[in-house]
Amino acid sequence: MILLVTGGAGFIGGKIARLAAARGFEVRVLDSLRDDVHRVEPAAIDGVELVRGDIRDPGTLDRALRHVDAVCHQAAKVGLGVALSDAPDYASTNVTGTAELVAAMGRSGAGRLVLASSMVVYGEGAYRDAAGRRRRPAARETRDLDAGRFEPRDPETGEALEPDLIDEDDGLDPRNVYALTKLAQEHLAATWARATGGTAAMLRYHNVYGPGMPRDTPYAGVAALFRSAIERGEAPRVFEDGRQRRDFVHVTDVAGANLAAIDWLPAQASGTVRPFNIGSGTVTTVGEVAEGLARVMRGPTPIVTGEYRLGDVRHITASPGRARAELGWRAAVSLEDGLREFAIDR
């Protein structure tokens, strides 16, 4: 098995490359080593070939895909992409890059693809109303956010909604530039599978954290931002009221999900494309993560600011039941253990 990991020098891609090499795969990494992501040169991975180049370059892709059986596509510009000025770079990196990748896979004959997608394709999470009916609320209005009214309301009655777990068959409603590009990647993967008879697993990651997470960059996740603040002796600043529900999943578990998907693909029918939620299955609030890091790092108590970011959703947690049933995968690292390890990562 020859595996290509795009973005394989990055946070998640590097973990996948190491795990696959330890499993006995022949691993090749394609990474552009963008300065805004890689502030320092990443360490080489024993036994793993690095092809340095841009995923948008057909020649680089043809070289990287030589004799490859399967591709783990992790290369992407991440973050919210709230400003419209971000849109060209997100579209070029994520959409054009994926289009070039699947075109090159068509030329090379590589027939298996695992795509790093994201929970953001769902938009706001799933809810139930007072009668137990499933609801998907509209985007929150600025006037409500300014007034500290953060919870979505039933669009018909105005009553509070109860957050629920979303699953892969729920509708998709991307609400920022990054989310739009992740959905475009899914559509490109599906188009490639139909055209070539390949098979694809689309892994919709939830909030991934763990050692090696980007820090002090525009792409640092909320856990990394909290940790950096505590290291500076500052109280982590928690937006809204801190009760936003998320699912924090450790990067080691996410790497394992990718390997499980690679194992799953050969048994699938030609043209199969299947999305999977990749999360711990445990609902955690953003405030709880800030408090947990402050506790293990013996740092200042978090400050709940009431601030907000347009484009953020209130609650998004999903059922990982399909990944458990079909991939045989489940998260193993508890949040308590993961935060303790994350807190001491330098």
Q: HEC string of 248-289? A: EEEHHHHHHHHHHHHHHHHHCCCCCEEEEEECCCCCEEHHHH
pLDDT, average across residues 142-151 = 94
State the average pLDDT for the chain.
Answer: 92
List, for residues 163-179, the tens digit of each pLDDT value.
Answer: 999 999 999 999 889 99
**216 has a pLDDT exceeding 80:** no
Distance separating the N- and C-terminal Cα atoms of the chain? 34
- The 3-state DSSP class for residue 49 equals strand
136-140, 196-200, 249-253, 293-297: lowest mean pLDDT where? 136-140
The single-letter DSSP state of residue 318 is B
pLDDT, average across residues 33-44 = 67
**320 has a pLDDT exceeding 70:** yes
330: left (phi over 0), alpha (psi -120 to 50) or beta: beta
**345 has a pLDDT exceeding 70:** yes
Q: How many whole angstroms separate alpha carbon 84 and alpha carbon 110?
A: 35
pLDDT, average across residues 336-343 = 93
For 64, 194, 321, the CA distances from 107, given in Å and listed in that order, are: 12, 15, 35
pLDDT, average across residues 279-305 = 96
Task: Return the active site residues.
Answer: 178
* Confidence class for position 305, pLDDT limits 50, 70, 90: very high
- pTM equals 0.94
For 121, 132, 182, 284, 330, the CA distances from 281, given in Å and listed in that order, are: 18, 21, 22, 10, 9
In this prediction, residue 82 carries a pLDDT of 57
* Confidence class for position 80, pLDDT limits 50, 70, 90: low
* Confidence class for position 217, pLDDT limits 50, 70, 90: low
pLDDT, average across residues 128-151 = 92
